[in-house]
A and B are shown apart, each in its own frame.
Chain A
Amino acid sequence: MDLLLPPLFPDLLLDLLSMALLIGGVFLGISGAVGVIRFPDFYTRVHAAGVTDTLSAGMILAGLMLQAGFTLVTVKLAFILLFLWLTSPVASHALARAATHTGAKPVTATSGEPSSSN
């Protein structure tokens, strides 16, 4: 890293970028948590939780990756990110499906018109 790009990416700049990513990730995480507290029913809360699972986790892990540089640590962080992004939609979908099975209705929902034939 240092050999390739000494003038463009000094450590300070890398630190700043990583700090920005970490702060952004924490901000998104808190936003999602506030949404989970604030939103009116279960189905809307799933969307708020989705924010903390996708971009918040991605930004925090990306910030850590910048700190680690090109090492095995970065590969492991990338693997955690990949795994989180593969599993979080499955968990969300399973949650929503289980909620319909328990009979929970999306109380605030207006029904969308089926936009085509089926």
Chain B
Amino acid sequence: MLYFLSLFAVLFGFWLLLSGLWDHGLLLGLGLISSAFVAWIGTRLERPGGDGFEPGMLLRLPRYLGWLLVAIVQANIDVVRRIWDPVAHPISPVTGRLPASQRTRLGKTLYANSITLTPGTVAIEVSDADVLVHALSREAFDDLAGGEMERRVLALECGAGHPAGHRDGEAQG
């Protein structure tokens, strides 16, 4: 039900955003009907509860996004340097597996998405225990292997007080 309501709210907000006419009764009514219909289809498609979402994550999200934005800017500068000045900054592509200690599917998805969103590293394959990463340079790979992003996603997932790397056998969705 929570899933239905939140999906409905997001969809109706999207409708309002796109239409821009907020005092037109017919359009608002049509928006309500179609949002409710699509949200109902959504509850039939998805199995909510298996992905590990908890509301506290929303509070911790802005801090992580701020850090991620800085990381994205730095990674962009690095890749642009390697494009324009290949002599001073040569590329040295690396593939390798890195551990993904996040406990839920949502956490792993966030981690893999963050890896891919920063230019210079791409997550190719995601499994339960690790991520197969292709990096443009050895430096970018080592930077990722240092584990700061992994720790931050884990903190986003479990709260800052959670001991990082604490992997007990919680069932994967």
Contacts and interface: CB of A to CB of B under 8 A. Distances in A.
The reply to whether A and B meet directly (CB within 8 Å) is: yes
B93 to A, nearest CB: 4
B76 interface: yes
Interface in A1-60: 28, 31-32, 34-35, 38-39, 41, 43-44, 46-48, 50-51, 54-55
B79 interface: yes
Contacts of A88: 117
B120 A50 contact: yes
A97 B133 CA distance: 11
A110 B83 contact: no
Is chain A's interface secondary structure helix, strand, loop, or mixed overall?
helix
Contacts of A116: 99
A75 interface: yes
Contacts of A46: 122, 134
Interface of A: 28, 31-32, 34-35, 38-39, 41, 43-44, 46-48, 50-51, 54-55, 72, 75-76, 79, 85, 88-90, 92-93, 96-97, 100, 106, 108-118
